[in-house]
A = this chain, B = another copy of it.
């Protein structure tokens, strides 16, 4: 049985290595391949650790119990709001980048499915409120922000590992940008209030800067030595 178990582990490792490298070679943002990595790397133990972490503060605990969804979003309507609002900024981000909100699909009745659905449907709101652009460095910054806030997620760490290897192989000239982004995202994620569980659809009319201040998201880092 031990030999069989060893073989199984070797095989899983080979398959993961193959898919990891496929992802490294794929264009940034290849969601099908990212989804496959997510399926392979997330296990019950890891997901329980994350759920436990998210339950430590009332907002996260409440969200895991009540599982509020973003619902369907009308970008054209939000784009009519004043330009300083979250709703306008989000709609503008989506329209400018040619993106569409995820459909409000029904999900399985368990906390892990909710976490995945919630993070998926709010991903672009996180882009907007954290101020991370959708270029490579911006995605890396946001991924490191996720590592700090959806802690400790095998998936987000693996995605960063993929992007570092991709930087080494394909984007060596962007190394400084990418490491600065990773550093800033991690520090900002630790510094900010938790974003998981926020009911964003009740905040569309709120001024973005006010929201960013409340969430401790609107500051620049000083990397001073003391």
Contacts and interface: CB of A to CB of B under 8 A. Distances in A.
Q: How many copies of this chain does one complex carry? A: 2
Contact of A172 (B154, B167, B179, B224): B154
A171 to B, nearest CB: 9
A225 B223 CA distance: 9
Contact of A221 (B46, B216, B226): B226
Contact of A41 (B13, B169, B179): B169
Interface of A: 13-14, 16-18, 20-21, 24-25, 41, 46, 49, 144, 147-148, 151-152, 154-155, 157-158, 160-162, 164-165, 167-169, 172-173, 175-176, 179, 182-183, 186-187, 190-191, 216, 219-226
Contacts of A13: 21, 24-25
Given A151-B176, A158-B168, A186-B183, A216 B220 contact: no
